[in-house]
Structure 1
Amino acid sequence: MALHRPTAALAVLWIVSGVLGGTVAFLLYLEYIGQLTGSDPIVSCQWGVLVTCGPNLLSPGGNILGFSNSIAGMVLFAGPVYAGVSALASPAGLRRWYWRTFGIFVAGAFVLVHYFAIQSIFVYRSLCPWCMIIWLVTIPLFWYTTGWMLREGVWTEAVPVRRAGRALSTWAPLVTVLDYALIAVTAQLRLDLLASF
């Protein structure tokens, strides 16, 4: 059975991403409770008409499973922390099924943050600051993790796939920035954010 182990730098990225994402999800949860009860959150995310959490948190998209997405975030962001700690604690590496499961969850998170970005920009016409931090964390988490998994043969040993993984690992910083830029430009064109400041 093939074992795979990421670099220490990637494992640390997972841990930092998970801690940051989980913390921001907790802040989102506090904001959500504040919206429901009328109480003030510890740190408000109401920064203006277009940069605010309100429309997003109480929307159907903000409660996609029937409860606040922030609750799911607090639980699921423990995954990258666990994966990072597991990688650092296992010098020989971990089995393929473990990394594939992690990769599926990371890919799901990636799809969801883009879905939420589209909903925020085109449906709710506002940007939630805490949500945007979660986008900022999840996007590189996906690109770096996917590059490593393809490069290391976690999904398949096919040479073209591993070559694509090496290329993605090399270009992950640029791909991440381009992903951010796509969301930012779309938000600017749709909402004219710069004019609101």
Structure 2
Amino acid sequence: MLAEIDAELAAEAAVRRRAPERVTGAVLLLGGAVSWVAALVLMIDKLFLLENPGAQLGCDINPFISCGDVMSTWQAATFGIPNMAIGLAGYAIMACIGSLLLSGAQLPRWFSWATLGGMTFAFGFIQFLAISAIFVIKALCPWCMLVWLMTAPMFFAVLARTIESGTWRAPAPLAAVLRHWVVLSIAWYALVVLAILAGFWRQWLYMVGLG
């Protein structure tokens, strides 16, 4: 009888331990899938522009909401190849990792570090692209912003999982903050909104007739 109770308690504890893994898996699968679709649309649009220079894209809404304007800059191919090609590969990999976590697979420590490394690169690259779009290019790409939207929670969820699993033994105060990946994602969204309001302030005033 006691052995059965111990087994049930151990099983319940295992389920509780896996819960954060499954949440992270769901975030990676959803975020990776949505970002992959966005990258695919951007790649199709890029090929269309190469065949039809000067053509208007469906997301070319006005002078400061325009995928075409963003695609024509060097930042759209930062490493010499279109950014969307990197996204197609990278987000497909993250979606696969998400599927593994959802299935309950136990990933080795090095794999957790590799996943965090990949998401850190993606999140850092997103910062560069967002800052460039808002303050340098002065144009926003809706599909690009969808990728931004997905990448932030993917990064923060993976970071939190790395701490929860004991892979990274961060200092207690830092770990306490980084575990709140939802709050961190929302805070990042707020910063992006503020940056867009600041970067396009004159355009917003013009749109409402105050410019």
Question: TM-score w.r.t. structure 1 length?
Answer: 0.86
Q: Which runs of 4+ in 1 moved over 4 A?
A: none
Give the equivalent residue in structure 1 for 2:8: none
- Distance in 2 (alpha carbons) for counterparts of 1:194 and 1:51: 12
Q: Which has the larger radius of gyration?
A: 2
What's the CA shift for 1:189? 1.1
Superposition deviation, residue 34 in structure 1: 2.0
- Tell whether 2:151 aligns with 1:141: no
Distance 2:186 2:175 in 1: 18
Contact 2:115 2:158 in 1 (8 A): no
CA–CA separation in structure 2 for the residues paired with 1:112 and 1:167:
23
Matched residue, 1:85: 99
1:18-29 to structure 2, matched below 5 A, reads 18-29=32-43
Contact between 2:59 and 2:142, CA under 8 Å: does it hold in 1? Answer: yes
Secondary structure of the residue aligned to 1:112 is helix
Flag the structure with higher helix content: 2
Q: Does 1:97 align with 2:110?
A: yes
CA–CA distance in structure 1, aligned partners of residues 75 and 183 of structure 2:
29
Question: Which amino acid counterpart does residue 136 of structure 2 have in structure 1?
Answer: V
Mapped partners of 2:184, 2:104: distance in 1: 29
Q: Would you say 1:179 and 2:188 are equivalent positions?
A: yes
What's 1:127 paired with?
Answer: 140
- C-alpha distance after superposition, 1:19-41 (max 9, x if no partner): 10100000111111122222878
CA contact (8 A) 1:107 1:142 kept: yes
Kindly state the Cα deviation for residue 151 of structure 1 after the two structures are TM-superposed.
Answer: 2.4
Aligned counterpart in structure 1 of residue 174 of structure 2, from 164, 177, 181: 164
Pick the aligned partner of 1:50 from 59, 64, 75.
64
CA contact (8 A) 1:14 1:84 kept: yes
2:47 alignment counterpart: 33
Q: What residue identity is the alignment partner of 2:85?
A: I
**Distance in 2, Cα, partners of 1:50 & 1:37:** 23
Q: 1:194 to 1:174 in 2, by over 3 A?
A: farther
**Cα distance, 1:88 vs structure 2:** 3.0
- Residue 83 to residue 166, structure 1, CA distance change in 2 (3 Å): farther
- Change beyond 3 A, Cα 1:54–1:31: same
Matches within 5 A, 1:106-125: 106-125=119-138
- SS at 1:94's partner residue? coil
What's the offset of the Cα at 1:90? 4.3
SS, match of residue 189 in structure 1: helix
Q: Is the 8 A contact 1:8 1:88 kept in 2?
A: yes
Cα RMSD over matched residues? 2.1
Task: Tell me the equivalent position of 2:27.
Answer: 13
Distance 1:166 1:152, change over 3 A: farther
